């Protein structure tokens, strides 16, 4: 069952999205769908979605009880005779909830790198991920597969500017990223907030969006007004962070693509704080630090 390339955008097959993968190496082991034991399917470590709506899972589980699993999940066989999930975690969770012992699955042969690409791309293309989950998935593809923004845009069938706009969200303060993840603000709100560099003013506008339900247009107007204000140069305060520490803070922020804060006392004692969004983000940062 070879994967056929199709022209088009979001509906393209994996063959057109990931042209560098040897399609013969990722085809199903057999031409038929296999029934695999639910208990032998392990989680996908590259799953970009971290949270699942329980009400939606309940509805899917009820549907599965009545009609079974309509769309097979996708797995790869592991050496210990278990299966690792590539795509279909919602269906697997709902099947477990429905009490199924076996589920239909496409069993594919894939390396770790191929699996990561397939899992991330399929989830980005098909699942209703929030903006932060998409941004983190894009960054994973760029870092783990060593892609440029241009190469990723070609693989995803997206404009390069779209990829860049998502990745810029990772430079937002942790509180803003959390608000975006929890749907308290929209991606358009977040993009307007990116232009507010002063952290105190940034958070002030963020709270106004949430508390007063500001529209995107109103947020953009506040951001533009703040940017238009003349910036006054104030002398460095006693105890302010030395330039060498400021430069190090900027380098770490750029390398880790995360919020980094260095605090230092007059005597040279201080703290280094690195913000991470979830366990996967923590593991990503640790890998970068260990290099």
Q: 156 with 147: CB under 8 angstroms? A: no
Is 133 designated active site?
no
Place of tokens 């329980």: 54
Choice among 89, 117, 127, 133 that is catalytic: 89
Residue 85's SS3 state is: strand
Ordered DSSP codes for 238-289: TTPPPHHHHHHHHHHHHHHTS-EEEEE-TTS-EEEEE--SSHHHHHHHHHHH
Distance, in Å, from the CA atom of 282 to the CA atom of 265, rounded to the nearest integer, reads 27
- Integer Cα distance of 218 and 202 in angstroms: 14
Sign of CA dihedral 268, 269, 275, 278: positive
Q: How many CA atoms lie within 13 A of 95 on its CB side?
A: 23
CA distance 96 to 84: 15
β-sheet bridge partners, residue 76: 84, 108
Cβ-based neighbour number of residue 138 at 10 Å: 26
3-state secondary structure of 122: helix
The catalytic site residues sit at 89
């Amino acid at each position: 069952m070879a994967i056929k390339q199709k022209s088009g955008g979001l509906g393209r097959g994996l063959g057109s999205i990931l042209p560098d993968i040897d399609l013969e190496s990722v085809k199903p082991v057999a031409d038929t769908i296999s029934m695999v034991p639910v208990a032998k399917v392990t989680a996908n470590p590259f799953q970009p979605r971290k949270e699942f709506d329980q009400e939606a899972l309940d509805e899917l589980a009820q549907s599965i009880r009545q009609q079974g699993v309509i769309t097979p999940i996708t797995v790869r066989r592991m050496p210990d005779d278990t299966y690792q999930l590539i795509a279909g975690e919602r269906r697997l969770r709902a099947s477990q909830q429905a009490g199924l012992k076996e589920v239909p699955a496409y069993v594919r042969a894939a390396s770790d790198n191929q699996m990561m690409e397939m899992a991330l791309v399929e989830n980005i293309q098909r699942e209703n991920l929030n903006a932060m989950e998409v941004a983190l998935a894009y960054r994973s593809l760029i870092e783990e597969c060593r892609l440029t923004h241009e190469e990723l845009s070609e693989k995803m069938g997206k404009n390069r500017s779209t990829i860049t706009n998502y990745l810029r969200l990772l430079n937002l303060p942790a509180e803003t990223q959390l608000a975006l993840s929890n749907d308290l603000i929209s991606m358009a709100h977040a993009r307007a907030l990116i232009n507010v560099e002063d952290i105190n003013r940034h958070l002030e506008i963020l709270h106004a969006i949430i508390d007063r339900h500001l529209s995107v247009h109103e947020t953009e107007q506040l951001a533009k007004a703040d940017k238009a204000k003349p910036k006054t140069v104030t002398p460095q305060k006693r105890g302010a962070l030395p330039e060498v520490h400021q430069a190090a803070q900027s380098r770490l922020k750029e390398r880790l693509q995360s919020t980094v804060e260095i605090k230092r006392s007059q005597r040279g004692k201080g703290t280094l704080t690195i913000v991470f969004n979830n366990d996967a983000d923590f593991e990503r940062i640790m890998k970068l630090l260990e290099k």
